[in-house]
Structure 1
Amino acid sequence: MQLLDKLHFNEKGLIPSVIVDNFDGKVLTLCYMNKDAVEKTIETGKVHVFRRSQNRLMIKGETSGHIQMVKRVFFDCEGNSLVFAVEQHVAACHAGYKTCFYREYIPGTDIIQIAEKKVFDPDKVYR
């Protein structure tokens, strides 16, 4: 795969990958991919990630069904990171929010606030 020849994976064989909503450009999540995850993502058109905590390849939305359909793929000038613009089905975050970046820190204060609304109940999805 020509894309793999342009990418530089770290010493653990991983590359950071930012997932953004193709519609509004909102950052949905940051994940890590190994070569297998990149290949499966390109091959199927659905985001696959390498779960470091479980040391395995998985499709994003494997448990919830909240898959991410790839629309565009970008990589940085040095080939050290990827950006996938996706059509997000329901939500990206296992905590019930569209984006994993639902908490906001207000600079100059000690305030951290929830900046998004929940779009699903995780207790009902992840039984």
Structure 2
Amino acid sequence: AEHAFLDAPAMNFIAGRIEEGVFRSAGGLILPLPEGARPTDAAGRELVYGIRPEHIRATAQGMPGTVTLLEATGSEIFAKVDCAGEEIACLFRERLPLKQGAQIRIEVDRACAHLFDAKTGRRM
């Protein structure tokens, strides 16, 4: 399993912009700004929020979503979660009693999130 990282799901890219100190996707999903990002950074400009599946946790107080895809691989669970119309790939390291169609709350690790300029692709 030393090549497992090759199969790792790609980073989630969510289009949106900074509004009122948070990142808001086109569909209205609200995400916390990455650590170190200031609300004035490119406020109002088209941005892309990047977060890797392994940097998303299932928590009691996170964003609500619905599990649309589930693949358990021994120690990990790969899930796709629909949050406000955004499909977010998640990789959970802990055993969760998840079923397809189940409601779940997820939280992104702000320290691992990134913002990109939608036009240039440059990291902010």
TM-score by length of 2: 0.27
TM-score by length of 1: 0.26
- Ranked by relative contact order (alpha carbons within 8 Å, sequence separation 6 or more), the top structure is 2
Q: Which has the larger radius of gyration?
A: 1
